[in-house]
Amino acid sequence: MLYITGFAVALVLALGLTPLVKRFAFKVGAIDKPNARKVHTRIMPRLGGLAIFLAFIGSFFIVLPFIPDGLLSAYDRNLIRAMLAGGTIIVLTGALDDRFELSAKVKLLLQLVAASVVVFGFGVKIDLLNIPFGQSMQEISGWISIPLTIFWIVGVTNAINLIDGLDGLAAGVSGIAITTILVMAFVLGFEPIILMSCLLLGGILGFLVFNFHPAKIFMGDSGSLFLGFMLATLSMIGFKQVTVVSLITPLLIIGVPIADTFFAIIRRWVNKRPIFAPDKGHLHHCLRELGFSHRKTVLIIYGVAAFFGFAAIVQSTFVQSHAANWVTFVVISLLVFFMQIGAELIGIVDKSKRPLLSLLARMRLKPDQQRGK
């Protein structure tokens, strides 16, 4: 009942706060103007992430007095404080960028500060990994775990930011990832993650009412960075605390933004462009070029995100069994294969080069050629 109540409170708060944040964004000048890279054609308010953050924080403090004694241990409360402290820094960073357009270096520095607060301020870090085809759980030393944790938090935070290119896209994909974490936490009985996921999901869905196409407000960097940070910490804390979750699982949970970021790096490297140079070659851009409408493009990516989430649940379900390594290998192999096929079909890296499709075509032609002889 606590989880349902928390979800409902966050949902109602987001529904009520988003219109107020919209007016505030116009008042302070946190607006997004159309340009050649963007798909919208009118001035739009940003700062929508502030509504998600306030709904999340507000619902947490509303339900806090009703949390039964013993539900959250001292360790759990420390994890929650780490998320709240780091999340606050990230939201402030995004809000400043929504208004003043901070440089990439300044944003990266502030993201590193937020990640460092989580690691050094609250002692939260990755120290156990389940590596496929290795021995069960491997403990990693501090000099590796600290930079690995910071890299994970900053990397996922920016991955969500990169897919925020269409109405409702980043919010919906993040919501699907949070739902995946929620399902896994429920199955594993990890109550702190269940609670935080319910609160965050309520805030996302309440905001999505105003953000789905045609959007009335954008989440801006205040939203995409905050959701990325929360996904990074929730998934990291999940496989740190519950040792049955593999290294692969959190990567699958956020498979869409990770894959889009990976292909963006490859695309810019192939075309000899700076890695951080913006372009119109992301997944949503490619689908739009194929003729899909705004809504259909977003719904297709939702479907892909849901498929990744399902794969994460399947993989984590089998990870304790003797067949865990083979299940992981099969799942990842199939995903990589279909990702490459999809990437070549839509031209996300290079529209003229399709090595795997060409190979498959040659393999299909060989029997026909032999019969012709």
The number of CA neighbours under 13 Å toward the Cβ of 184 is 33
Q: What letter would DSSP give residue 13? A: H
∠ CA(59), CA(65), CA(67), 5° rounding?
85
Look at residue 242 and give its three-state secondary structure. Answer: coil
Q: How far is CA 20 from the centre of its chain?
A: 26
Please tell me whether 130 is known to bind a ligand: no
CA distance 63 to 251: 31
CA 369/CA 122 separation, integer angstroms = 66
- Quick check: 235 and 253 in contact, CB under 8 A? yes
Was 161 annotated as part of a binding site?
yes
Q: What are phi and psi of 326, to 5 degrees?
A: -70, -35
User: Which tokens sit at 117?
Assistant: 């607060």
What is the residue-wise DSSP string for 279-335?
-S-SHHHHHHHTT--HHHHHHHHHHHHHHHHHHHHHHHHHTTSTTHHHHHHHHHHHH
Bridge-partner residues for 139, per DSSP?
Answer: 128
Angle in degrees, CA 319, 323, 324, rounded to 5: 25
Rounded Cα gap, residues 257 and 263, in angstroms: 10
Nearest Cα residue to 196 out of 49, 317, 77, 48: 77
Please report, in range form, the residues annotated as the binding site: 161, 221
Please report, in range form, the residues annotated as the binding site for Mg(2+): 161, 221
